[in-house]
Every structure is written in C-alpha cells, then in structure tokens.
Structure 1
Amino acid sequence: MVLSQKKTLGFYSADPSQHTLLEDSQGLLTGALVSALGFYFLNRVGLLTGGTAGVAFLVHYTFNISFGLLFFLVNLPFYYLSFKRLGFAFSGKTFIAIGLVSVITEVEKRFLLIDYLHPFWGALMGGLLLGYGLLALYRHRASLGGVGILAIYIQERFGIQAGLIQLAFDTGVMASAFLVLDWQTVVWSILGAVILNLFLAINHRSDRYIVVR
C-alpha cells in the first residue's frame, strides 16, 4: 500500500511533489525539444531573446558560430553557483537540459526547413514554444539559463531583487543587439521576449509547481 502511494505501475509518482526517473527523463527531453523548436523559430528570422540564450544569439549572428555550441559554453560559468546554491539535483538536470537543447538545435535543421517566416510569427511562436519548453523543465526542477542562478546569488548576497537583476541583464542584451541587428529586428525580439515572460507569468506559479526545493 505504501509503495502504491509512491508509484503507480512502478513508473509514475502518485506524490505530486516528487517525480520518478522516467517522469524526469521525459520532462527534460520534451522540454528540450520544444525549447529547441522555439529557438529555431527565432533563429530562422534572425531574432534573439533574453538571458544566456540572447548572448549566444548575439555571438552567433556576429561571428556565424554554431548557436548550439555557444549556448552550451555561455552557461558553463554559472554551474559553480548552481551547484553551490541550488544543489546537485537541480544543477544536474539543468546541465542535461542545456546539453540536450544545444544538440537538438544543431540536429533539427536536418529535419525541418521553413522557407518563409514573418518576424511577427517568428517572435510569437518562438516566445510561446520557449515558454512551453521552460514550463516543462520548471515542473521537473530544471532550467535553461545561468542568469537566473546569478540573480538568485546576488539577491542572497546583496539583497537586490533577482527579478531586477534578470531585467537589467536582458535589457543589456537587447541594447547590445542594436550594435549587431537593425532596430526592427530588435523590436520583434523584444516582442518575443515579452510573450515568453507573459506566458510564464500566467502559467507558472511557485505554489503550484516548485522549481527548486
């Protein structure tokens, strides 16, 4: 009876606050797949987003280096803070999720090609798909970026709100984009970022789904 309360058929957890290995695995994989598709939509029309992905996009557009490789490398410096502040489980799953997204963004181009995509639709679908992907990862206590980790650290160390740190970083990324991209592209990128954050604000609540415990 106790075992049946913890797992159903040995695979699915009956406890909403816990996940089995199978549940976490499918959550990380599907979250990474949907997120990578969101990045594809943004990349297809030359847009970017906030966080470390925005930095990776900027370098990608400037030097034509693989986005998947850049996305993986840009996040590396943040793992020390993640392991130190957020624990092994969250950090390990985040590392796996970022690794999956980095690989999938390179592989999916062999299976998917959109001949025409309007920047508005790219911003809309890119923002929504990233929102869905991140929501899946959040529900399995993982993420896709190191800026949030840094923001939490600064908040704990200096008392500055994490949301303000994240906003300042994203503003800096978008401001830097004007040096690389035309202003229309930056505006569409901002729209995509707003759609992404609105989607998460509406659909993710810490009292329903706990990212880090």
Structure 2
Amino acid sequence: MDINPYHNVLEDVQALLSGTLLVALAIVLFRQAGLLTGGTPGLTFLAYYASGVPFGVLYFLINIPFYIFAFLALGRAFAFKTFCAVALLSLYSEWLPHWIRVESIDPVFAAILGGLLAGAGLLMLIRHQASLGGIGVLAMYLQQRHGWRAGSLQMIADAFIVCGALFIVDQERVVLSILGALVLNMVLAVNHRPGRYFGQ
C-alpha cells in the first residue's frame, strides 16, 4: 500500500535541517579520511581536493545552474526547498569542523558510516520533495517523469564521478570512496521507490 502524506511547513523545515545535517556529518567523515562521495558533493570534493577552495563555497556555486532546472522541471516548491537544502549543507560543511573534531577514524568505517548517514539524509530530503541539487535533481525528474528509480540513476552517476577521482587521489581512497557510494545508494535503492512515498 502506497503512502502519500502531505507535509506541513514545520515538517518540511525539520526535514531540511535534519537531512542536511546528516549529510554534512558524512562529509566531515569523508573529508577526515581523505575520501569523497558521488553526486554533486562528489564533484565538489574533486574540486576541493584539486583547488583547496572551501567545500561549502564550491558546493553552492556548482549548484547554481541546477536551481534553474529544478524550477523549470519540478516546480517552484521543489526548487525553493532544494535551494534551502544546498545552502544549509554549504553552511553546515563549513561550521561543523568548528563544532566537532574527528581526530582519527578508520577509513573503511568512515566510508560505511558516511554512506549510511548521507543516504539517510538524502532519503529524508527526497521524501519532503527536496534534493541536494545537481544530479539528484535530474534523478528526481526522471523518476517523476518516467518512473525510473532515483537510487539506481544516482548509483550510475556516482560510479562515473568516483572513477574520476583516480586522477586526483590514490587508488585505495578511490576504492573506499566507491564503498561509501555503494552504501549510500543501497540506502536509497532499498528505501525509496517510485510511488512508495512521495510527500508534498
């Protein structure tokens, strides 16, 4: 039986604040372990490792074209929530290192826990008709328009992005980044299917 709730404003605000915080915590773990992830955060990690420009700044700028696409393809409400989610993640990713410090973490554990946190955060955002921009916007659009599973689409895109890391970070970190991306997408693929839960 499909669940189709209508979320009120307070519920949406809670989801935006909590979902982006979970993803930001994942980014802290990935960054501490020298890993990256898929999607637009993965592209941002590549730019961050290559340039040293703050992650939050790069992430917000990379997403600018996708705000326009989200508005045109998925509507004003989705575009606004996505803009808020991206802005929150950009801020969280810069603030969290001042609030929490991870002195040491096993890279394998960082990949697994980071993937779980990011997947749970993304799932929360998707269920409240928001995304973290970029590839997530395209995946949501194709799911709504053609019924393709967002998790599967995200996994394919993530594979290309993580493989691109071979030109910037060492192979061991790439392998662990792939593990993190697989865990993240497993959470999405198992828990989010077309028609199962599509709140407003």
Answer whether TM exceeds 0.5 for this pair: yes
Q: Which has the larger radius of gyration?
A: 1
Q: How many residues are aligned here?
A: 196
Instruction: Identify which of 48, 68, 71 aligns with 1:80.
Output: 68
Q: Is the 8 A contact 2:149 2:193 kept in 1?
A: no
Listed one character per residue, the Cα deviations across residues 3-57 of structure 1 (whole Å, up to 9, x for unaligned) are xxxxxxxxxxxx9521111111111111111111111111111111111111100
Change (3 A) 1:117 1:110: same
Q: Which residue of the partner structure matches residue 83 of structure 2?
A: 95
Q: Is the 8 A contact 1:131 1:200 kept in 2?
A: yes
Listed one character per residue, the Cα deviations across residues 153-174 of structure 1 (whole Å, up to 9, x for unaligned) are 68999x9x78686455323322
Find runs of 4+ consecutive structure 1 residues off by over 3 angstroms.
Answer: 150-157, 161-169
Instruction: Identify which of 85, 104, 107 aligns with 1:116.
Output: 104
Q: Which residue of the partner structure matches residue 144 of structure 1?
A: 132
Q: Which residue of the partner structure matches residue 35 of structure 1?
A: 23
Change (3 A) 1:21 1:165: closer
Shift of 1:206: 3.0
Q: Which runs of 5+ in 1 are unaligned?
A: 1-14
Shift of 1:110: 0.7
Q: Secondary structure at 1:178's aligned position in 2? A: helix
CA distance in 2, matches of 1:33, 1:156: 26
Change (3 A) 1:156 1:117: closer
Q: Which residue of the partner structure matches residue 41 of structure 2?
A: 53
Change (3 A) 1:137 1:124: same
CA distance in 1, matches of 2:79, 2:111: 29
CA distance in 2, matches of 1:115, 1:199: 27
Q: Secondary structure at 2:118's aligned position in 1? A: helix
